[in-house]
A and B are shown apart, each in its own frame.
Chain A
């Protein structure tokens, strides 16, 4: 069993606890043990916090990295926003000595030091990696096939972009998450402009809600055209924007979609036999019932 320090972030544990709970359980069935990263904080939010000061953003993310270094474990996480902060700061501090020294000067005041001894992974990439889990193992773990459902994928931005700094290959038309959806028995569905941003990032959701929802609405129109039963993603912040966002879109624009939005770990949990109650799907803004009726 591989062990990772599980970096929770904010939105999964504080808004969608089912996604957190599903991560522990689904990962364990696939040979990954997620350990508590005690005292971790907000990553901090790359858009909101990074816009104010990248320097402080580095230092704050480095504190979280130090906690995992003390545990001598690599970090696994389930949020693209967290990936941007935690993965990127780890990467940059390892690369730039001057930056690292500057950050360590601050960390010294709280008796910490960034050493650069661990790596950071998104749980989805660990699931996809054949040397760690792989699509076949995901397929073998399925108890309740999602056959007969059409599911679209939202990749989000900060996991794979900027492409040159990351290691995921194409960001124009990736298909690896679709493979992981197909492994659950569901039909992965393509839709127009699937790599479009959810609209929430960069502090825009807080700065200009209508603007941010208008981007989300464009995605919703494209998803509706593709006649999908559910949308899956690997980022709780995108999840919040699509799920609670649909309620806000109804308020602001008067359009209703009722499209269930599930984190990939929640979807995998369902396929591995977890009940909707165990996944706290009732906390979602948009009811998952129509989708569940097709599955269960």
Chain B
């Protein structure tokens, strides 16, 4: 199946040029990623064990080794604007096999957090937040399931925030503390109108 990456034009152009320009490097990016990920991407010697272990690599242009390299060199824009950043299934195979004791999975998670701060985030992630904000669940109950639960002799609503919705308020307070719902709503509206 032919698949396109949908890169922004500027990024496409930049990726075609493989030279490294000093002014594109942000050393503080390396430090921030290391702090957030509690890992040590600067130790990477680019052996490629991570990419070889990656379930996403054989079916896309996603290369985890490349992202660790970008972390090491401080190539912030290149890392955060690459749509492949979101193809990691977080299976941790690379982390278990890395001979340098780096956790590439956590490096990706840190980069995703930094991307979100720049509003770079696929909408489906935000929709999970919206669902949790409203119901407490990322995958909420539905009528088919309620009927099935009843048939099993169970309460149609599980004893979570579903049966005890008074707890949803606490969840909303936590999410609002970080203004996450506000930002999620804004970004979803910008993308989907």
B48 at the A interface (CB under 8 A) = no
Q: How close is B152's CB to chain A, nearest CB, in angstroms?
A: 5
- Complex contact A200–B160 (CB within 8 A): no
- Complex contact B112–A40 (CB within 8 A): no
- Complex contact A201–B89 (CB within 8 A): yes
- Complex contact A51–B92 (CB within 8 A): no
- Complex contact B36–A49 (CB within 8 A): no
Residues of A within 8 A of B49 (CB): none
B20 at the A interface (CB under 8 A) = no
Q: Which of A153-169 contact B (CB under 8 A)?
A: 157-158, 161-164
- Complex contact A162–B105 (CB within 8 A): yes
Q: How close is A200's CB to chain B, nearest CB, in angstroms?
A: 7
Complexed CA–CA distance, A195 and B136 (Å): 31
Contact partner of B170 (CB less than 8 A), chosen from A50, A63, A161, A204, is A63
Residues of A within 8 A of B1 (CB): 210
Contact with A along B100-141 (1 / 0, CB 8 A): 010101000110110010000110111111001000111111
- Complex contact B132–A42 (CB within 8 A): yes
Q: How close is B103's CB to chain A, nearest CB, in angstroms?
A: 6
Nearest residue (CB) in A for B169 is: A110
Interface segment among B7-15, B22-30, B67-75, B175-183: the answer is: B175-183
Contact partner of A39 (CB less than 8 A), chosen from B127, B149, B167, is B167
Residues of B within 8 A of A63 (CB): 170-171, 174
Complexed CA–CA distance, A146 and B111 (Å): 47
- Complex contact B88–A204 (CB within 8 A): yes
Q: How close is B157's CB to chain A, nearest CB, in angstroms?
A: 9
- Complex contact A206–B128 (CB within 8 A): yes
A36 at the B interface (CB under 8 A) = yes
Complexed CA–CA distance, A15 and B144 (Å): 9
Complexed CA–CA distance, A36 and B159 (Å): 6
Residues of B within 8 A of A171 (CB): 96
Q: Which of B68-84 contact A (CB under 8 A)?
A: none
Residues of A within 8 A of B86 (CB): 51, 202-204, 207-208
Q: Which of B29-67 contact A (CB under 8 A)?
A: 36, 55-56, 59-60
- Complex contact B170–A14 (CB within 8 A): no
Q: How close is A14's CB to chain B, nearest CB, in angstroms?
A: 5
Residues of A within 8 A of B158 (CB): 8, 13-14, 17, 20
Residues of A within 8 A of B56 (CB): 204, 211, 215
- Complex contact A20–B122 (CB within 8 A): no
Residues of A within 8 A of B149 (CB): 13, 17
- Complex contact A48–B124 (CB within 8 A): yes
6 contacts between A and B (CB under 8 A): A10-B138, A13-B141, A44-B138, A49-B128, A110-B173, A195-B93
6 smallest A-B Cβ distances: which pairs?
Answer: A206-B124, A39-B167, A13-B158, A161-B92, A197-B91, A202-B90
